Homo-oligomer: A and B are copies of this chain.
Amino acid sequence: MNSIKQISTVTLIGSGNVATALGLSLLDNGIKITEIFSPNMSNAKALADKTNCGYVNNIGDLITTSDLYIIAVPDKAISNIISKLKNIDGIIVHTSGSQSIDVFDNSNFNYAVFYPLQTFTKGKLVGFKDVPICIESPNKATSDLLIQLANKISTKVVTLNSIQRQYLHLTAVTVSNFTNLLYTLSNELLDEKGIDFSLLHPLIKETASKLNEVNPSEAQTGPAKRNDTQTINKHLEILQNYPEFKEIYKLLSDQITKKYHG
């Protein structure tokens, strides 16, 4: 293990949404991206072009002298990537919310987790300043170096262990992916009825931004919160030809009613 004072050079393993967002943000903040690895040659080239570096699609060809290697690949590919990395002194991190740090157990690397808590979509650039970055490492010096690096791109850097990160990831899925399904079902229904989905945008934004001022359980409103069975039943009737939507409407209304009215 080398004993660097700060991380200056980074290799990106992966070329998807997370690798791209991280790479561009690090570059913007004075970090040199040394190389991109991706099995997908055209994705690798696209990201390499954006970050002014070279790319390889054979992991054995990677430059071995970077300060940091960021693994940003699908969860199930992480352990395979780790097993193929050789002769690397730099820090190696994965960026997954749900993978434990134990995935590095059989390696001799200087390793850590560097988890940016955000939803990254192609074609939508996310600024990193507000993105929480969650760090975990068994090595204090490594953790300090990563915190120092993370502070360059984000104002919200925390250390969390693997168990805590798992809970955070589970709730991130809940407030983001599941919420987005609710948006999608609503969008599809309104489209079909010729009603402009963007009428809901201010409500969606207000529902999210309320959380700055009140606790979500205090912010709960709506028919189920009021135990207004008449409206709920009317909505269930409207949804009779939309069985998936109806099932979600019923379960969530039932749970709200139960929570606030026993």
Contacts and interface: CB of A to CB of B under 8 A. Distances in A.
A202 interface: yes
Contacts of A179: 175, 179, 182, 204, 207
A75 B98 CA distance: 44
Interface stretch (A6-14, A26-34, A58-66, A119-127): A119-127
A118 B219 CA distance: 13
Nearest to A170: B235
Contacts of A121: 210, 214, 218-219, 221
A147 interface: no
Interface residues of A, number: 96
A114 B178 CA distance: 31
A190 interface: yes
Contacts of A245: 174
Contacts of A210: 119, 121, 124
Contacts of A183: 175, 211, 216, 219
A206 interface: yes
A163 to B, nearest CB: 8
A50 interface: no
Contacts of A209: 205
Given A205-B209, A211-B183, A212-B201, A248 B239 contact: no
A107 interface: no
A222 interface: yes
A103 interface: no
B189 A171 contact: yes
